[in-house]
Structures are given as structure tokens and as C-alpha cells.
A and B are shown apart, each in its own frame.
Chain A
Amino acid sequence: MSEVVLSVGNLTVGYGDIRAVKGISFEVQAGEIFTLIGANGAGKTSTLRALSGMLRYGGTVCLNGRDLRGLAAEEIVTAGLAHVPEGRRVFGPLTVLENLKLGAWIRRSQRAAVAADLERMFTFFPRLHERRDQLAGTLSGGEQQMLAVARALMSQARLLVLDEPSMGLAPKLVKEIYAVLREINREGVTLLLVEQNANLALRLADRAAVLETGVITLAGESAALLQDARVREAYLGA
């Protein structure tokens, strides 16, 4: 029943002599929300960038049983992993609609299906519908984050990887985005979420792992981690 979507084995990522990720292993199961929490510089972003083919890495990454080694970043999207990058990275000089269309690049020949998905995104994020002809660079931070999530979903990937979607946003907007993430997950998309905001992430996720200076120091059900004394002291300020 618990089918493994993503399996990461002994992953290492380095920049020159600096080892940012020092051999971590975890598995993400179909339909769940898995979160990696940790402080700045713990290796969270490096891990995600390795998964989506943006960084060279050691160890193995398997998506639905397929080894991703050697695949270019754009091929990994086709394999079914979509990445919402840190800092949103929407295309500023393009309109909201163009950003979304670009997210559907790998299935751009299926015009009807793409159009239906656009409508679906607009029901998730009505604000994007209002601003669909506006340049993405003129959106507020929260709207840009919504656009980044919607753009990734347009690929119809079954695994969505999110790098700090709450970063720099007002609490109300964070709540809004997290509500949509929950909804997306309910529709069957598996989520791998990286967050500094441990409290938020642990409340959303089913399972979690704590990353500290490139090593996983703790892993388990998020409900259990929320109660864990070490997590509470280090990340929840309790």
C-alpha cells in the first residue's frame, strides 16, 4: 500500500571542498507530505537542487523506481518531479498566464488538457486569475509564491518539491498557501517540503526528517517530532 515515490540513498552534495550534504537517506511515499526541516545552511536547498538535476551529487536518487542519475533537469520534470524553487523565481517580464503556460511546457501539445489545468489553478488561486495578464514581476511576494506553486503544478508532476514556500510572506498568506498545499495533496500529489518554519511544516506533513549541517539527525512521524524535546528546543522555540 505504501508505495515509494522518491528514494534517496546516501546523497552527498558538495561545493568545491565544502560538503553541504553528507550522505543522507530518506524515502517519500506516494500520497504523503514529507518535510525536511532545518536551519539555514543545513543543506535543505542543496538536497532539493540535487534531486531536480540542478546540482551534481553522489549517492542515488530514484523516482518511481527509476534512477535519475545522468538525467538533465528538464528530463527530470518529464519523469514526474516538479520543483518550486527557493525565492519563487517567477519570470518577471512574462505575464502570469505565460508563466503558467511555460510550466506546462512538457505537455504543450495537449492544448485542451492544459486549458483545463489553467482553470484548475485559477480555482486554487483566484488572485492569479484576476492578474493573469499582469507581468509576474509586478505581483506581490505572496502572489508570486502562488504563481510558482501553480506553475510547477502545470507540469502535472506527481511529486511536487517545494523549497521554503513560506519564506518572507505574511502569516495570512502563508496560511492561504498551506491550505492549497493540503488540497493539492488531497488530490493525490505527493509533496516534499523543505522549511525553516518547523512548526508550520510539521503540522502539515505526515512524516519529517531534521537536517543539521548536512546530516539527518532525527526522522519520524511529524506528530511525534512536534512533541520531541530536542525539536521543540531547537526549532519550535519552546
Chain B
Amino acid sequence: MVGAFACLLLVSLVPLPFIVALLAVMVITAVLGALIERVAYRPLRQAPRVSAIITALGCGLVIQNTTLSLSPYARPMPRLFESRTFEFAGVTLNSLQLFIIGVSGVLMLGLDFVIRKTDWGIALRATASDRATVPLMGVPVNRVISLTFAVGGALAGAAGVLYSQAYPVVGAAMGALIGWKAFVAAVIGGIGSIRGAVLGGYILGVVEVTTVVVLPSTWRDLIAYSLLLVILIFKPNGLLGSAAQQKV
């Protein structure tokens, strides 16, 4: 939601090319992510785990309602991407859809690489597994966590921009449902596993679309959340999750 609004604001002030706007929004939401960590999470670092969940919900409420007070009505999003429709092997596609798939693919592979292969990625995973011991390695824990939130913010910003191109109406509440679905996808895949979250996202997406085709479309969320319950019953750690892992 912030990503989409930031994009709307940017392009209404300066006519930016789409890619530039996307990158600029990612920078803005990265800064916001790091700021949220500093203000809302760091003071609760030693608090019980549930406090982090409460502060997350609280941040969401503050941001949503701030936006609502500034812009009470949904606004149309201008098309920034020249989209052409074509048919391929009997499937109708447009170039925007392909672009979205491409950008998210690049971002997912990039994130996977950073977390698996780079020094920061190793430090991040170590922090997730045993935050108290990481400083003994000379690793500045606070900076690792700030960077993690910045990366998360940048990715969410990119998602907001891409989503608002596919569904070009931006409103304060647009992110809430997406956020819940992202959470469901992460639980399905296994909290703590990034590849699992990607897998969970695709499973959820396919299940939703298939439901709409086969059953009345109002059943969509019922089926999606039932899937979540079934997975929680049979695989409480998600498809790719392991019991020992935890989120930063």
C-alpha cells in the first residue's frame, strides 16, 4: 500500500519512467522498513516473541490509518507500463503480466542468492538462529537487523508498485488482504524458509484460481484458509520449514 501510494505520488509530481519509479519506491520503502524496525521493534528486542507480532499489527494500523486520513478515497493509478496483449499456445497474456512475473522472479532469485551466499546473508541466518552469540563474532547485530528490514521494505514496495499496475486502484486498505495472504503463504511454506514462502505463494495462488473456476467464486477465501488449517494440522512447521528455525 505504501509502495503503491509512494509510486502514485512520485509519478504525479515528476513524470518518471516506470523502472525509475519502481527503484525510487523501493528506496523509499526500504528507508521506511528500517525506520519501523528502529522505532517499533528494537525497543522490544528483549521482549517475548508475541510482542513482535503485536507491534507488527500496530504498525500496520498506524500506517493504514495515517494513509486513510490523508487520502480517504481510493484513487486510480495511472498506467505506467505500455501493455500489449497477445496469444501464446492458446493462452491470452499481456506484457504487463510477463513483466511482473519477470521482475518478481529476478527479485526472488536475488534474495535467495544474497541470503545463501553473501556474508550478510550468513550473518542474517546466524542472527535468526542465535542472536545472543552473533556479537561474539564481531558482527554488528543491529545493522544486520536494520538491513533485513530495509530489504523487506524494498521488496514490499516493489510488490506494491507491481500490484497497482495490475489492479490500478490504490487505497489505504489494499495491503491488508495481500498481507494476510502473504502470511498464509509463508505459513504454508514454513515460517523461516524463503523458498517455502515462494512455494506457498504459488500453491495459494493456484488453489484460489482453481477454486474460482470449479466452484462459486465466493468460496475462494474459504478454500484458501481451509488449506491453511489442513496444513497447520498435518505439517505445523509448513512444507519446507524445520522446527528449529525462527524469524528474526
A101 interface hit (Cβ, 8 Å): yes
B123 interface hit (Cβ, 8 Å): yes
Q: In the docked arrangement, what's the CA distance between A102 and B137, Å?
A: 6
Q: In the docked arrangement, what's the CA distance between A48 and B125, Å?
A: 26
> Given A92-B244, A93-B244, A93-B245, are A72 and B135 neighbors across the interface (CB < 8 Å)?
yes
> Given A89-B130, A93-B244, A137-B244, are A82 and B136 neighbors across the interface (CB < 8 Å)?
yes
B67 interface hit (Cβ, 8 Å): no
B138 interface hit (Cβ, 8 Å): yes
Q: In the docked arrangement, what's the CA distance between A35 and B126, Å?
A: 30
A178 interface hit (Cβ, 8 Å): no
Q: In the docked arrangement, what's the CA distance between A33 and B232, Å?
A: 53
Residue of A98, A101, A155 touching B138 (CB-CB under 8 A): A155
Q: In the docked arrangement, what's the CA distance between A82 and B138, Å?
A: 9
Q: Mark out the residues of chain A between 49 and 102 whose CB falls within 8 Å of any chain B CB in the assembled complex.
A: 52-54, 72-74, 77-78, 82-83, 85, 89, 91-94, 98-99, 101-102
Are B126's CB and A94's CB within 8 A?
Answer: yes
Residue of B119, B125, B132, B244 touching A105 (CB-CB under 8 A): B119
Q: How large is the interface on A (under 10, 10 to 19, 20 to 34, 35 or more residues)?
A: 20 to 34
Q: In the docked arrangement, what's the CA distance between A108 and B126, Å?
A: 16
Residue of A72, A74, A94, A152 touching B122 (CB-CB under 8 A): A94
Are B136's CB and A85's CB within 8 A?
Answer: yes
Are A73's CB and B136's CB within 8 A?
Answer: yes
B10 interface hit (Cβ, 8 Å): no
Are B129's CB and A103's CB within 8 A?
Answer: no
Contacts of B135 in A (CB 8 A): 53-54, 72-74, 77
Residues on A facing B (Cβ under 8 Å)? 52-54, 72-74, 77-78, 82-83, 85, 89, 91-94, 98-99, 101-103, 105-106, 108, 137, 151-152, 155
Can you list 7 contacts pairing A with B, beta carbon distance less than 8 Å? A73-B135, A82-B136, A89-B130, A91-B125, A91-B126, A99-B126, A105-B137
Residues on B facing A (Cβ under 8 Å)? 119, 122-123, 125-126, 128-130, 132-141, 242, 244-245
The 10 closest A-B pairs by CB, nearest first: A77-B138, A73-B135, A106-B138, A89-B133, A91-B126, A74-B135, A105-B138, A74-B138, A83-B136, A98-B122
